[in-house]
Amino acid sequence: MRDTSLLLVEDNSLDARLISSQLNKAGCSTLTHVSTLQEAVSWLEASNHVDVIVLDLTLPDSMGLNTFQFLYKRFPHIPIVILSGRTDQTLAIKAVSLGAQDYVFKTEASSSVLVRSIRYAIERMRRLQIEKDMISMDRDLEYAREIQQHLLPQTLPQIDGIDMASVSIPANWTGGDFFDVIPISRHIKCNHDLWQPEKSLDRDNAIWGLTIADVSSHGFAPSLIMVDTRRVLRTCSHILQDPGEILTFTNRAVSEVTLEGQFVTLFYGRLDPRDRTLEFSSAGHPIWIVDNQGKLNMPDYAGAPLGLIPNAQYKTDGKLNLKVGEVLLVITDGLYECRSTRGEIYGIERVCEVIHQHREQSTEQIVKELLKSVHQFAGSLTIDDDITILLIKMTEP
């Protein structure tokens, strides 16, 4: 009872002195006594803090359960223990069902019984509040997850000669991974051209901006950085042509929102379906190409992750000529760094093996096989890091 503040609502002066004496001996540090319901309301509305209310149901200005219900409705966050001279079990059960933490008969209200009842009431209310807060937080996080998933491409473009599939699975409610497939007009000539809304673009003749990014760590905080990175990158993709220049501008924006030690690895490439080329720049994020023989190749890149060097200048790392049958593997490290129960890493080589083994199937099926394989390897359907996969297979036109 030490450090417990209590409001006693009792009109009988003898009962009030007896109860106060019992609680003071039990160590109650702060006890306030009032005699009427109105006095109790006025005292509580004066912003006085109290841990628990001990309430008699029979007061000069209120009688029976109406006394409790009036006080409970006004102050639902404060636990109320009813201390009554009415030894009515039916009334006691009804009072508890309406929200009272306990109903103690005055004839049985020894010091130990009363103290125990008060302690339990405070603890039950504390746990109830924690439960309510967790439910509310879960709702907020679920909403945040829905918003984040909505920011990812809901459908992938149907491009002649290209088979494309994707998946993004956050380890928590929200994640720091994201990918994008951005339709870009071929008519951008310089950064003074106006941005064109995507709905007005001729998608059959568009260039496609392929993006994948991984914010350091995972959870809610990285998801905020992810949203800002996506916004800037999308805007730059529509007004700039050079991938290196796009990452340079994106890096400046990311540097403004990241804290010390935070960064974003990001790959950005411009896929031209006409000549099957991919011009790209990477900020510390590798991609791989699996050829027809199952050989794995990682194109070279030179850029550091975004957010580490605010004034860094990024250059275009290269231009790939993609051949029929080759698979472009654009993923985050949550896939190939997944560990088994023995601590063994899944590894990029296993990713390549699964892709080559199922190379005749659609990319959608290959993605399913990759997830099945990594979950079997990990021995669990849960994951420790965000997993994002963008798989692109070059097919016959």
> What's this model's pTM, rounded to 2 decimal places?
0.71
CATH code 3.60.40.10 for 153-394: yes
Q: CA angle, corner 265, sides to 262 and 271, nearest 5? A: 155
Give 385's contacts (C-beta < 8 A, 6+ positions apart). Answer: 171, 218, 332, 333, 334, 337, 338
Contact 175, 230 (CB under 8 A): no
- Paired sense of beta strands 327-331 and 288-290, if any: antiparallel
pLDDT tens string, the chain, 397 residues long: the values are 667 889 999 999 998 888 888 888 777 768 899 999 999 999 999 877 889 999 999 999 999 999 999 999 999 999 999 998 888 899 999 999 999 999 999 888 777 888 889 889 889 888 888 888 888 777 877 777 777 777 788 889 999 999 999 998 887 766 778 899 999 987 655 544 444 555 556 666 789 999 999 988 766 777 788 888 999 999 999 889 999 999 999 999 999 988 888 899 999 999 999 999 999 999 999 999 999 999 999 999 999 999 999 999 999 999 999 999 999 999 999 899 998 888 899 999 999 999 999 999 999 999 999 999 999 998 876 677 889 999 999 998 8
DSSP 8-state assignment for residue 217: S
Amino acid 313: pLDDT: 96
Per-position DSSP letters for 23-52, written without gaps between them: HHHTT-SEEEEESSHHHHHHHHHTT---SE
Q: How far apart are CA 124 and CA 79, in angstroms?
A: 8
Best CA proximity match to 378, nearest among 331, 330, 344? 344
Domain-wise residue ranges, the chain: 5-134, 153-394
C-alpha neighbours within 13 Å on the C-beta side of residue 220: 7
The owner of tokens 């021995």 is: 379
Q: How far apart are CA 69 and CA 97, in angstroms?
A: 11
Rounded to whole angstroms, the Cα distance separating 308 from 259 reads 10
Provide the CATH number for the domain formed by 5-134 in this structure.
3.40.50.2300
State how far the Cα of 279 lies from the Cα of 285, in Å rounded to an integer: 15
